[in-house]
Amino acid sequence: MSDIVEAVEAANRLAALSPVSVYAKGAFSCSVCAPGDWPAEQVQAEVNRIYLCGTEKGWTVSDDRAFATGQPMPCVCESDATRKHWLLDA
Ligand SMILES: [Zn+2]
């Protein structure tokens, strides 16, 4: 198995085990679903651990107070009320 395949599989395992899931991935922003009691700093640190960012400063929780859909940021997850959705910028 190549090093690249192993690295990708290791990254996938890391992401699969995380309580945070990245549900929308863009080049300069991403949206994640995280435990509802996690503060912004913890969400940000975990996203940087599981989802490598292409920029030097890494992912930061967005200053935007709303998603593109108009929902407040963060907002309660529509499928699990114990979780919250966050927007992060690269
Ligand atoms: Zn969710």
Per-residue model confidence as pLDDT tens for the chain (90 residues): 689 999 889 888 888 899 999 999 988 999 999 999 999 999 999 999 999 888 999 999 999 999 988 999 999 999 999 999 999 999
Report the domain count for the chain.
1
pLDDT at 18: 96
Query: What is the distance, to the nearest Å, from the Cα of residue 66 to the centroid of all Cα atoms in its chain?
Result: 16
- 83: CA distance to ligand 1 center in Å? 6
* pLDDT score for 1: 67
Cα torsion 45, 59, 74, 34 to 10°: value is -40
Distance 4 CA to ligand 1 centre (A): 30
Q: Are the beta carbons of 21 and 32 closer than 8 angstroms? A: yes
pLDDT for position 68:
87
Tokens of 6: 């192993």
Domain containing 29 equals 3-89
pTM above 0.85, yes or no: yes
The pLDDT assigned to 26 comes to 87
